Amino acid sequence: MGGKKIWTFLPHNLKIIPTTFLTLPQLSYIGSMFSDEGWLFFKSGFFSYSTKLALVLIGLLYTYIIANALGPASYGKAMFVLAFIGNLVYLFGVEVFGDALIVFMPQFRSKRLFLKFAKILLATFLVLFVLFYLFSPQIPELIGRGNALLFQYALPLFIVFPFFLIFEALFKGMKSFGKVLKVSVAESIANLCLAAFFLIVLHQGIESVIFAKITSVAFASLIYFYLFSRSRFEEKEIDSIAVKRYVKNIFAMSILKKLNSQVVLLYIGLFIPSVAMGLYYIAEKIASYAVEMPTTAIAEAMLPFASGKAKDKKALSSFISMNIKLALTLGIILGFFVLLIGKFLLGILFPNFAEAFWLLPLFILFYLVNSLTFLTNAYRSINRADILVKSAILMLATTSLFGYFLILIYGIYGLLLAQILSNFIVFSFLYLKQKDVGLEIKILPRFKDICFFASLFKHAFARGLNSFGFFNKKG
């Protein structure tokens, strides 16, 4: 259609908006985005992104106060302990049940399904809490970081964190992203205030970060429980066989994925000095806030909607393709911006962490490559967990192998290079496998795709204004 200008009309008598360089399928896609389901997806993505954006602002303030107060070495230790315990929580099943809720809650809206998962998690993590308490003295000896008392302080996360995550998955599955936004912001503000209070007023040192996180997550879980008690459920008949098959299939993939993260943490604990660890976590925070959070907001909103398109693989392929292209486009723009201001930002806000700037390009590249692996949502939607398990095995093997050798040669830079290489290999595997399952996903954004995204955001912005009554003039 070349450069011919095409005029499209927005619903609700909004004024005409010109769009350029768009193909008919893309114009059709714009129309579908403003159907009831399409608009719900766009709002869900917006709320998910708003959650991330709000967390960015609060997280930057948190990192500024806590990192500068503790210094690189202590800050690195605190973040390592939280990451180690948090990843263990995911490792023992939270992600599996959370994914199952996100996939099946749109179909069943079942309170019984949620309560069944919650009871299993409670029993599992009570046992794990006791076991890790008994063996906590051996953990620091194994990983070479922290001390037994610090890990014991963090163990209550084994109780509060699973419930926070399972409630969060429930409301994402019910497409209540606005509630997720409010609770996430409340948890982050509470974490910030409590950490500052424990650290600055009570002078609790590194333990302040642990105490604050436990308390804020417990507080947020109580809010979720209140919202849960007021939520309406339809109690449709559950396809128990489908749910069990999904949980069984995805369990291995989830365990392997979290083992991969645990290998990274183990290498950091064994081979990286505390000061370098602090630089690593500061660079990770900045790159995560700027690049990873906005792009993963797309993936989070994508899964419940992609699941509804599983029977139409052409529509699913188009939907996944557009979302990956959008994530890449957004990630490249934001990553370039971070590199422009990164050195200045670190010099002003984190002068003791200035050397972390040289880690930023690698983290940005890592998150860009990671956005390509959103292909996993397509395989989840069509319930091809066998392919996902193979990809997880491939990631664990490549991260373990490349990580060990590259970290010995290049230190923390080598570990990041290993993760980038591993993610790219996994993406290549998933991309080559798609034709075997009838998918045709394309991932490289073209100029007309960028024009499409610009037009889509214009339409969304106009409809958003209309929903608030800006175009509804009386008289």
pLDDT at 171: 85
Tokens found for residue 212: 């604050």
| 158, 163, 164, 169: CA torsion to nearest 10 | 130
The answer as to whether 347 is a domain residue is yes
Calpha distance 263→72 (Å, rounded):
22
**What's 428-474 look like in SS3?**
HHHHHHHHHHCCCCCCCCCHHHHHHHHHHHHHHHHHHHHHCCCCCCC
* Cβ neighbours of residue 132 closer than 8 Å, sequence gap 6 or more: 88, 139, 151, 155, 158
Q: Which runs of consecutive H residues, i.e. helices, occur in 90-110?
A: 95-108
Tell me whether residue 7 is in a domain: no
- Residue 297 within a domain: yes
Report which DSSP code applies to 14. P
Tens of each residue's pLDDT in the chain, 475 residues: 444 433 333 344 334 344 444 444 444 444 444 444 444 555 555 555 555 666 777 888 888 888 888 888 888 888 888 888 888 887 777 777 777 777 777 667 777 878 888 888 888 888 888 888 777 776 666 555 556 677 778 888 888 888 888 888 888 877 777 788 889 889 999 999 999 999 988 888 888 999 999 999 999 999 999 998 888 877 667 767 777 777 777 777 778 888 888 899 889 888 888 888 889 989 998 898 888 877 777 666 665 556 556 667 777 777 788 778 888 888 898 899 999 998 988 888 889 888 999 999 999 999 998 887 777 777 877 777 788 888 889 999 999 999 999 999 999 999 999 999 999 999 999 888 888 888 888 888 877 777 766 766 666 555 555 554 444 444 4
Residue 14 lies in a domain: no
Q: Please report whether residue 195 resides in a domain.
A: yes
User: Is residue 239 assigned to a domain?
Assistant: yes
Q: Whole-angstrom distance between the N-terminal and C-terminal Cα of the chain?
A: 40
Number of domains in the chain: 1
Domain hosting 329: range is 34-438
Residue 275 lies in a domain: yes
The rounded distance, in Å, linking the Cα atoms of 89 and 198 is 25
Query: Is residue 144 left, alpha or beta, with left meaning phi > 0 and alpha meaning psi from -120 to 50?
Result: left
> How many other CB atoms are there within 10 angstroms of residue 89's CB atom?
22
| Residue at 197 is within a domain | yes
Do residues 14 and 460 lie in contact, with contact meaning Cβ atoms separated by under 8 Å?
no
Question: What is the three-class DSSP state of 7?
Answer: strand
The strand pairing partners of 7, in sequence order, are 18
Q: Write out the DSSP string of 308-332.
A: TTTT-HHHHHHHHHHHHHHHHHHHH
The contacts of residue 19 (CB under 8 Å, 6+ apart) are 5, 6, 7, 8, 27, 30, 451, 455, 458
